[in-house]
Structure 1
Amino acid sequence: MAETKVKICGLQDVEVLKSMVHLPVDYIGLVFAPSRRKVTAEQASRLISVLADWQTGKAPVAAGVFVDPDRDELNGILAAAPLGVIQLHGNESPAFCREIKEAFPGVQVWKALSVAVEDGGANNDELALESYAGTIDAVLLDTYDPAQRGGSGRTFAWEEIPDYRKRASALGAPLFVAGGLSPDNVGGLLAAYAPDGVDVSSGVESDGVKDIAKITAFVERVKQS
């Protein structure tokens, strides 16, 4: 079985990222969408420069998180910050995803889908996943929140994962799970559903700030599972 990939999202502080260079992290997430974790292209460039000093295995790939970006925004950010992944959390169409893949050769395109929370709420999956065949490189499941795209700190109904996994596999796309993950619950997720990767942000924070002890615990629990 392939090793589960780890993405630490919402990074803003260079010193925090420097404290992570000994950890086997596969992706770092830089948020360009409206969020308290939003970074500028210049901040992202400084953060990405730290990756050259990574000490454990291969350096993480930088993923930029966007909600319904336009081409001008993407052109400007990628010119300043060499992202390896464009992660789309809005209502981006399959045609847009294909356009972005063609415009930025060598950059992966991930599509995030919102899934209902455990205590109810509607899925925000208007666009059929199957229509993205050939246009995306990975599928990321996050928790549906009517007020924001991601970052809610809440888990979704994990029993939905097997169906999405089957559908993503049919597209040849790995499945990542986000939404409310933490060092305390990620082991249970991996044992029950074994996604290809996990994505964490608020679950490794203390008082809204990334906590290296929690990041370390999260990464260790994933990589030891």
Structure 2
Amino acid sequence: MAATVKICGLMMPQTIRSIAQLPIDHIGFIFAKSRRQVTPEQVGEMIRTYRGERPDGTPLMFGVFVNPSFEQLEMTLAEAPLDVVQLHGEETPEFCRKVKETLGVKVYKVFSVTEETGSSPREQLEIYLGSIDGILLDTAGGGTGKTFDWERIPDYLPVTREAGIPLIVAGGLHADNVAELLSRYRPDGVDISSGVETDGVKDVSKITTFVERVKACV
């Protein structure tokens, strides 16, 4: 089965109209401080635009947050009907569980992959199992446009496979390296933002090529 593909950091309804018919599985909107930050009202409009083009309920809509308050998530979801809350900060398992159970959304937790020694990947992940619906591995700092050491992926995969949750890889991906990632390490999905941009703006041609490369890897 082909990996899932997530296009993150969308900001404009016209981009959504241009990519609506591509086999994209996940769309990400950034609510954290970023040059790609959008408001709940903007995202609500973009989701309605996408649903008008794709009434089948796909792709899943992700909201990207860093250490949000529960109240911020409540207010955001009142304007933007997200399917998934993606948490990039120091959110605890208890917070993740509260979001998941109270707000009725899926929760994905992001783990930064570093060279530092410390707790093992299994120890990192196990305390979150049951509180989250998926994990995302990213380069430390996020949004750097750089890859992490992919040799670390096999340290995480057995835990997610046993738990039955997807593992998505982000960080420095583009059309020319994603096939290597997928063929060698077999994550469940990939997440891209800057790798499908030209001069900081989402490039429909690059998005199309990236999606085609991902879906060609089975």
Shorter chain as denominator, the TM-score bin is over 0.9
Q: Tell me the SS of whatever aligns to 1:110.
A: strand
1:1-41 Cα offsets, whole Å, 9 max, x none, are x3211100000011011100120001100000010000000
Distance in 2, Cα, partners of 1:59 & 1:181:
23
Runs of 4+ in 1 over 2 A off after TM superposition: 53-59, 121-127
Distance 2:216 2:2 in 1: 9
From the superposition, tell whether residues 212 and 125 of structure 1 become closer, same or farther in structure 2 (CA, over 3 Å). farther
Residue 38 of structure 2: aligned partner: 39
Distance in 2 between the 1:103 and 1:201 partners? 29
Gaps of 5+ in 2: none
Q: Kindly indicate whether the alpha-carbon contact (under 8 Å) linking 1:114 and 1:124 is maintained by their aligned counterparts in 2.
A: no
1:33-86 per-position Cα deviation (integer Å, ceiling 9, x unaligned): 010000000111011012223359762111000001111100000000000000
Q: Which residue of 2 aligns with 1:113?
A: 111
CA contact (8 A) 1:67 1:88 kept: yes
CA distance in 2, matches of 1:57, 1:24: 12
Following superposition, the deviation at residue 122 of structure 1 comes to 3.6
**TM-score, normalized by length of structure 2?**
0.94
* C-alpha contact (below 8 Å) 1:86/1:110 kept by paired residues: yes
Task: Give percent identity, aligned residues only.
Answer: 51
Q: Give the drift of 1:173.
A: 1.2
Where does the alignment leave 5 or more consecutive residues of structure 1 unmatched?
A: none
What is the aligned counterpart of 1:175 among 167, 172, 178? 167
Partner residue of 2:79? Answer: 80
Aligned to 2:214, which of 186, 201, 222? 222
Instruction: Look up the match of 1:166.
Output: 158
What is the correspondence of 1:36-115 to structure 2 with a 5 Å cutoff?
36-54=35-53, 59-105=58-104, 107-115=105-113
The structure showing larger relative contact order (alpha-carbon pairs under 8 Å, at least 6 residues apart) is 2
Q: Give the paired residue count.
A: 215
Cα root mean square deviation, aligned: 1.8
- How far apart, in 2, do the equivalents of 1:37 and 1:123 lie? 32
* Correspondence for 2:140: 144
Give the whole-Å Cα distance in 2 for the aligned partners of 1:221 and 1:125.
Answer: 35
Classify 1:214/1:86 alpha carbon distance in 2 versus 1 (closer, same or farther; 3 Å): same
Q: Is the 8 A contact 1:124 1:144 kept in 2?
A: no
Offset of 1:128 from its aligned partner? Answer: 1.7
